[in-house]
Amino acid sequence: MDGILNALILLSNFVIVPGIAYGSQLAIGALGVTLVYGILRFSNFAHGDTMAFGTMATVLLTWALQSWGVSISPFPTALLALPFGIICTILVCLAADRWVYRFYRREKAAPVVFLIASIGVMFVLNGLVRFIIGPDDQRFADGERFIMKAREFKRLTHFNEGITIKTSQGLTVVTAAIVVIALFWFLKRSRAGKSMRAFSDNEDLALLSGINPERVVMITWIIAAALATIAGVLYGLDKSFKPFTYFQLLLPIFASAIVGGLGNPLGAIAGGFMIAFSEVTVTYAYKKFLAYALPGDWAPQGLVQLLSTDYKFAVSFVILVLVLLLRPTGIFGGKAV
Amino acid sequence: MNGAEDYLIGEHLTGGYGGANILHDCNIGVGRGEIAVIVGPNGAGKSTAMKAVFGMLNLREGSVRLDGKDITGLTPQARVAKGMSFVPQNHNVFTSMSVEENLEMGAFIRRDDFTDTLGQVFDLFPILKEKRRQAAGELSGGQRQQVAVGRALMTKPKVLMLDEPTAGVSPIVMNELFDRIIEVAKSGIAILMVEQNARQALRIADKGYVLVQGRNRYTDTGAALMANPEVRKAFLGG
Ligand SMILES: Nc1ncnc2c1ncn2[C@@H]1O[C@H](COP(=O)(O)OP(=O)(O)O)[C@@H](O)[C@H]1O
Ligand SMILES: [Mg+2]
């Protein structure tokens, strides 16, 4: 019996807890992608670098605050800097819309033209971030590191294995829950949110109802920028901030949004968790887990790892390809916010 | 039928979708509390004429006047603000939104309390009140058309433009819808409507326009057109 429980604790520690945290980060990222798709009707390839930009702005202010001795310990200082990062990112997104996307909107350009334009924006943001903060790994997490340490867990219980919950993980899940509830409240109940859904559902009829498309687009960028920054900062606190990693995050984020159905916010959340758990479960080495779970001498010799962590992006890619082949509108049905 | 000028007038409307002209010197008008009906074969340009009047078509020539004022240069949104409302032929409801949300979106430009108008629409179409929480995409064809007309009424328009409001509904529902439209007209709203069911529509029309290949072929009162043997033969099936 203890064997099974130890196995479950082990699994919680290395699969479930990190999976939930990573899933929340992907979900917030995918929500941004899916909202932009629903309203502006293109896949925004600049989203990963928008996350990087927002995180960079937050990191810079965090360092400044730290040097001034400002602290909200046990919480990370970055939380205090987050609103500043969000505002900077909103300004950047609105500028990109003003100088790039609005032109194509007036031209009534095809979605693929927008997509290519967004790749251009991606390169600009990418260069900007590397120019300002550099390409290296940056650490900016401070405050209390753990909510629960494995050692304490073991002391409190009598198990061999323990569960570690990092502050960043707890913070990620709580923030994600707040963000998702606020976003859905906004979309469901507020006048502006309803006008966004109406615009996403039927653009022509929205115009006939007197809904101002430029205003809808502006609100969408504001929300997308905020979501990108929040997702980026949470990911950075959990792992670390390295611009290239954020570019790479584009794949699992798009996979999440597409699996859930582009334009469908609930789908984006479900997709985020699906991708995260696929990645974590496929790259976890089950050796120790099986040693606990199976009777004594059945314990395996090898690592029992399906895929090395180096290949984790392959997981998103395979899922993405499968979904696009079997159900191109995503599992939860795409289009319409 | 002339005399005082009509409330809404489209005059010498000429234009198309970029290439060749679809409309050629087309004239349409409707007075307050009147029902004007546009009929004609498929592809005659009826929907195009409606779009032209609502500012959704680049006109090469012609003008649109509302209450004596030239509105040719106004965007569709600006026309909504001036009291015009349009139910397009296709995709005329927000399918993913509830019936009530559809009506709310109709009232989007209103900053005042529109519960009164909502109540009036529910009185006009009681089924909508019953289904207010249901997604418009889940409703039957006739119910959807009621949502579409209801949405357009939420701005308290002075002009209501309907493009084939009875498309794809049963004869019973069609008569029902026509009765409601007459009710709306009686409240003083000018109604400009395109109809496939020419016979039934001309019966309730104060004015009728028969459009062929983007041109006015016959223009008269509804009753006179119904009585005209040529019109009967060519457009009303004998
Ligand atoms: N969006 C469009 N772009 C180009 N041509 C169009 C468009 N809509 C309609 N047409 C053309 O304009 C003509 C008139 O169409 P329409 O006004 O829809 O006719 P009706 O409503 O009388 O059936 C048709 O020849 C049709 O092919
Ligand atoms: Mg038509």
* pLDDT, tens digit (0-9, with 9 covering 90-100), for B192-224: 999 999 999 999 999 999 999 999 999 999 999
> How many structural domains is chain A composed of?
1
Query: Residue A247 has which token pair?
Result: 């570019």
Report the pLDDT value the prediction gives residue A73, as an integer from 0 to 100.
87
Q: How far away is chain B from the Cα of A93, in angstroms, using its nearest Cα?
A: 26
Residue A337 lies in a domain: no
Quick one: closest CA in A to B84, which residue?
A208
Q: What is the DSSP letter of B17?
A: S
Q: Which CATH superfamily is domain B1-83+193-222 in?
A: P-loop containing nucleotide triphosphate hydrolases (3.40.50.300)
In ligand 1, which atom is closest to the CA atom of B164? Answer: 21
Confidence of residue A328 (pLDDT cuts 50, 70, 90): confident
- pLDDT of A334 over the 80 cut: no
Residue B90 Cβ < 6 Å to ligand 1: no
Element (H, E) at B103: helix B99-106
Residue B42 Cβ < 6 Å to ligand 1: yes
Nearest CB to A202: which of B77, B91, B108? Answer: B91
B236 backbone dihedrals φ, ψ, rounded to 5°: -115, 10
Residue A290 lies in a domain: yes
In SS3 terms, chain A reads as: CHHHHHHHHHHHHHHHHHHHHHHHHHHHHHHHHHHHHHHHCCCCCCHHHHHHHHHHHHHHHHHHHHHCCCCECCECCHHHHHHHHHHHHHHHHHHHHHHHHHHHHHCCCCHHHHHHHHHHHHHHHHHHHHHHHCCCCECCCCCCCEEECHHHHHHHCCCCCCCCEEHHHHHHHHHHHHHHHHHHHHHHHCHHHHHHHHHHHCHHHHHHCCCCHHHHHHHHHHHHHHHHHHHHHHHHHHCCECHHHHHHCHHHHHHHHHHHCCCCHHHHHHHHHHHHHHHHHHHCECHHHHHHHCCHHHCCCCCCECCCHHHHHHHHHHHHHHHHHHCCCCCCCCCCC
Domain boundaries in chain B?
1-83+193-222
CATH of the domain at A141: 1.10.3470
Q: Coil, helix or strand for B120? A: helix
Q: Does A212 touch chain B (CB under 8 A)?
A: yes
Residue B210 Cβ < 6 Å to ligand 1: no
Q: What is the pLDDT of residues A153-193, one digit of tens each?
A: 888 888 888 999 999 999 999 999 999 999 999 999 999 99
Inter-chain residue contact B80 with A194, CB threshold 8 Å: no
- pLDDT of A336 over the 60 cut: no
Q: Does B227 touch chain A (CB under 8 A)?
A: no
Question: Domain containing A110: what range?
Answer: 2-326
Mean pLDDT of A90-118: 96
Q: How far apart are CA A226 and CA A178, in angstroms?
A: 13
Q: Which ligand is nearest to the CA of B88?
A: 2
Alpha helices in B20-98 (DSSP H): 46-54, 76-81
Q: Which of A201, A212, A266 to mutate to test the interface with B (most CBs of B within 10 A)?
A: A201
Q: How far apart are CA B26 and CA B72, in angstroms?
A: 14
Q: Which ligand is nearest to the CA of B90?
A: 2
Q: Does B98 touch chain A (CB under 8 A)?
A: no
Q: Which of B47, B74, B92, B96 to mutate to test the interface with A (most CBs of A within 10 A)?
A: B96
Residue A191 lies in a domain: yes
Q: How far apart are CA A194 and CA A222, in angstroms?
A: 16
Lowest pLDDT segment from A58-72, A210-224, A278-292, B106-120:
A278-292
Confidence of residue A337 (pLDDT cuts 50, 70, 90): very low
**Dihedral sign computed on CA atoms, order A80, A83, A89, A92:** negative
CB contacts of B93 in chain A (<8 Å) are: 202, 205
Report the pLDDT value the prediction gives residue A1, as an integer from 0 to 100.
66
pTM over 0.90? The answer is yes
Burial class for A170, CB neighbours closer than 10 Å (0-12, 13-18, 19+): middle
How do the pLDDT tens digits run along chain B, 238 residues long? 445 789 999 999 999 998 899 999 999 999 999 999 999 999 999 999 999 999 999 999 999 999 999 999 999 999 999 999 999 999 999 999 999 999 999 999 999 999 999 999 999 999 999 999 999 999 999 999 999 999 999 999 999 999 999 998 999 999 999 999 999 999 999 999 999 999 999 999 999 999 999 999 999 999 999 999 999 998 887 6
Residue B48 Cβ < 6 Å to ligand 1: yes
Q: Which of A191, A209, A335 to mutate to test the interface with B (most CBs of B within 10 A)?
A: A209
Quote the percentage of chain A above a pLDDT of 70: 99
Q: How far away is chain B from the Cα of A251, in angstroms, using its nearest Cα?
A: 29
Q: Give ipTM to 2 decimals.
A: 0.92
Q: Does B111 touch chain A (CB under 8 A)?
A: no
Inter-chain residue contact A197 with B81, CB threshold 8 Å: no
